Homo-oligomer: A and B are copies of this chain.
Amino acid sequence: MSAKTANGMTANGMTVGSATTEVSVVTGMTKAEPGGRRGETRQRLYLAAVDLIAEQGFTATTVDAIAERAGVAKGTVFYNFGSKEALFAGLLGHGIQRLTDALAEAAQATPADRPGSRVATLDAIVLAQLRFFDEYGPFARVLLAEMWRTAWQEAIVRLREDALGVYERVLDEAVAAGELREGLDTGTAATAIFGMVLTVAIERRALHPDRPLDEVHATLTELIHGRISGTADPR
Binding site for B on A (CB under 8 A): 55-60, 115-117, 119-120, 123, 141, 144-151, 174, 178-181, 184-185, 188-189, 191-200, 202-204, 206, 215-216, 219-220, 222-235
Contact indicator B185/A219 (Cβ below 8 Å): yes
Could you tell me if A150 and B234 are in contact, using CB atoms closer than 8 angstroms? no
Candidates B55, B59, B215, B233; contact of A115 at CB < 8 Å:
B233
Check A234/B123 contact, CB under 8 A, given A59-B60, A224-B228, A228-B180.
Answer: yes
Residues of B within 8 A of A227 (CB): 181, 226, 232
Closest A-B pairs by Cβ, 5 of them: A226-B226, A195-B199, A120-B234, A59-B59, A196-B196
Contact, CB under 8 Å: A144 / B148: yes
Add 4 more A-B contacts to A191-B200, A192-B199 (CB < 8 A). A115-B233, A145-B146, A180-B229, A181-B230
Residues of B within 8 A of A178 (CB): 231
B contact residues around A220 at 8 Å (CB): 188, 192
Q: Chain A interface mostly helix, strand, loop or mixed?
A: helix
This chain: copies in complex: 2
Q: Nearest chain B CB to A182's CB is how many angstroms away?
A: 10
A184 to B225, CA, bound (A): 14
Shortest C-beta distance, A131 to chain B (Å), equals: 16
A216 touches which of B184, B188, B202, B231 (Cβ 8 Å): B188
Is the CB–CB distance between A184 and B226 below 8 Å?
A: no
Q: A203 to B147, alpha carbons, bound, how many Å?
A: 10
Which of chain B's residues have a CB closer than 8 A to the CB of A206?
A: 148
Q: How far is the CA of A225 from the CA of B233 in the complex (A)?
A: 9
In the complex with contacts A59-B59, A234-B120, A225-B229 CB distance below 8 A: yes
Chain B residue with Cβ nearest A218 = B185
